[in-house]
Amino acid sequence: MPRVLGVMLFAAGLVAVTSGEVLAAEGLADRVLSQPAGAPPANCEAANNRIELERCAVARFRKADTELNAVFRKMTSDTNRDGKNRELLQAAQRLWLRYRDATCDWQSDNVRGGTAATLYAINCLAEVTEGQGKYLEDARGP
């Protein structure tokens, strides 16, 4: 039976995260995005406790995910791209989602058993998603 790392507060909801399963099943990204959006502190730079830090990380990840999805929709609806190119982009994005989840699972496992594992995972999701959004935006071109 997996060890419970703790019950983490994401906005108004609670999500249990277990060791070795931080991104299992539907994945942490899906769990984070499915929770009600709680307001982060007014100044995330001054956040000084785990709940505030997690709320800031969740807000950052939600923003990055929204921006990535917007770029992806623009690219897949671009009439200058042929069907084959759209299929390749969709396949690449599906693989990237698996890469993101595996990468963030690995990174959070570096602090397995600690109270910061979920925070590490959410920060990783935000960082990797921001990077993919920038990559697609650059690849999209003018």
* CA dist., res. 101 & res. 137, Å (int): 21
Q: Which domains does the chain have, with CATH numbers?
A: 4-140 (1.20.1270.180)
CB 129 within 8 A of CB 32: no
- Work out the number of other CB atoms within 10 angstroms of the CB of residue 9: 16
pLDDT of 26 reads 65
Written as six digits, the tokens of 51 are: 């709940």
Q: Do residues 35 and 15 touch, judged by C-beta distance below 8 A?
A: yes
What is the predicted pLDDT for the residue at 62? 93
Q: Walk along the chain (142 residues) and give the pLDDT tens digit of each residue.
A: 233 333 333 332 333 333 333 333 467 788 888 877 778 878 888 888 888 898 899 999 999 999 999 999 999 888 788 889 899 999 999 999 999 999 998 998 988 888 888 889 999 999 999 999 999 999 887 6
The partner residues of 9 in beta bridges, in order of sequence, read: 14
Q: Environment class of residue 32 by beta-carbon count within 10 Å: exposed (0-12), middle (13-18) or buried (19+)?
A: buried
pLDDT tens digits, one per residue of 84-121? 989 999 999 999 999 999 999 899 898 888 888 888 99
**What pLDDT is recorded for position 142?**
64
